[in-house]
Structure 1
Amino acid sequence: MTFSTICLYLAACFAVTIIPGPTMLLALANGTARNWRIAGMGMLGAALSDLILIGAVAIGLGAVLAASELFFSIIKWVGVVYLLWLAIQLWRHKPTSLGANINNPSSSAIKAFRRSLLVALSNPKGLLFFSAFLPQFINTSEPQTIQYITLAILTATLDITIMACYASGGAQAARLLTAKGLTKLNRACASSLISLAVFLALYKKANA
């Protein structure tokens, strides 16, 4: 794997990742709590999902998902339900508790980690994306394991960097907006999650 290949991979990943998705919206919401332990744990949960999904692609689970309509449907509808549940939670929470229970930061950090991890793992599009995308950057004439590990680490690092920007934006919003403004931001994130859930529900595999 050459340096130019790595740069091309990172550029392509950046273009896809910068678009607000469920984990980015959660990072924004966690940022409004102005608790970097919570925001950081959310980022780690999303980063771990990258490592798991790319590991799954490396051992061939992406191909299994693409081939099994039942497996794909189960994961897809779990993802839809989970996104809708998160949207309801974000819509109902007060700005001071958005993405966190400030009275119990340790528990909230664990919840933030779990939420981000489950959101990413319950979206079959992530595994299908990596299955179609990653192999294009793998040099089959060289040992592949180290290449997958390298790309997994780079992907997780890029995700954390972008999520940190979203979380910083949320923290800045918490400083500048009134409680009413934060409530609107809260509900905007919830509405976006609902939209993503609808898109996921309507999503079909290319060969379906």
Structure 2
Amino acid sequence: MLGLSVPTLAGYLAAIVLLMVTPGPDMMFVLANAVRYGTRAGAVAALGVAAGEAVHVAAVVCGLAAVISASPVLFTVIRWAGAAYLIVLGIRALRGAGGPDAVAAGQDGRAGRAFLRGLVTNLLNPKMILFSVAFLPQFVDPAAGDVTAQLVLLGGLFVAVQLTVDVALGAGAGRLAARLADGRWSRRINRICAVAFVALGLRLAAG
């Protein structure tokens, strides 16, 4: 496949699977949406995150990601914007915490917003910029053919694996939350999601 060896592709897939199951802002966002608003919202959030990944891959192919990572000022602006966005989501989740009626309303009324929020959460994560610049090129072999085509292939596999993992996790979290959908558990879940968002925002701000 584009001259890339089977061991190289196998090693790449193993690496990204391990990365995908490591908790981070994207995974927490998908899980939070699935738990608060249902399986559908979790899947839509995963699609938004995957779309953000596709943008990062395109930026690597075009060389834009390298420019951003090389600019301390621009990189810091993106980092602080991402941190602020996550903290705002956490505060909104805390203010919107409620019982089963609130969760049921969210399943229908807020699932559509999950895509955009997932996209923005991923795009404003500066660590994804550094990761894309540092990780993808490691598996490119200039002697194996077109470098751009290899980056597109590797990036496409990355997006596909992340989408698969996030959708599976979101589906599981959504089903579990549905079984615990009484007033007490709903309020606890909302608070946990809110705290998770704020903690991730603070962590991102701290660098």
How would you bin the TM-score normalised by the shorter chain?
Answer: 0.7 to 0.9
| Match status 1:101 vs 2:122 | no
Counterpart residue number, 1:202: 206
Instruction: Summarize the Cα distance change of 1:157–1:100 in structure 2 as closer, same or farther, 3 Å threshold.
Output: farther
**Residue ranges of structure 2 left out of the alignment (5+ in a row):** none
Could you give the per-residue CA deviations for residues 82-105 of structure 1, whole angstroms, max 9, x where no partner exists? Answer: 01011112222235445973453x
Could you give the per-residue CA deviations for residues 48-88 of structure 1, whole angstroms, max 9, x where no partner exists? Answer: 11111011112212221222111111111110100101111
Following superposition, the deviation at residue 198 of structure 1 comes to 1.6
Counterpart residue number, 1:46: 49
Identical pairs, percent: 33
TM-score (norm 1): 0.86
Q: Which protein is richer in helix relative to its size? A: 2
| Match status 1:154 vs 2:157 | yes
Instruction: Summarize the Cα distance change of 1:78–1:52 in structure 2 as closer, same or farther, 3 Å threshold.
Output: same
Counterpart residue number, 2:77: 74
| Match status 1:128 vs 2:133 | no
Aligned residues: 199
**Residue ranges of structure 1 left out of the alignment (5+ in a row):** 204-208
Q: Which amino acid aligns with 1:24?
A: M
TM-score (norm 2): 0.87
SS of residue in 2 equivalent to 1:20 = coil
Following superposition, the deviation at residue 7 of structure 1 comes to 1.7
Instruction: Using the TM superposition, name which of 142-151 and 179-188 deviates more.
Output: 179-188
Q: Is the 8 A contact 1:99 1:112 kept in 2?
A: no
Counterpart residue number, 2:191: 187
The RMSD of aligned alpha carbons is 2.0
Q: Is the 8 A contact 2:43 2:171 kept in 1?
A: no
Could you give the per-residue CA deviations for residues 158-197 of structure 1, whole angstroms, max 9, x where no partner exists? Answer: 1111112221232222232232223222222222222221
Counterpart residue number, 2:114: 112
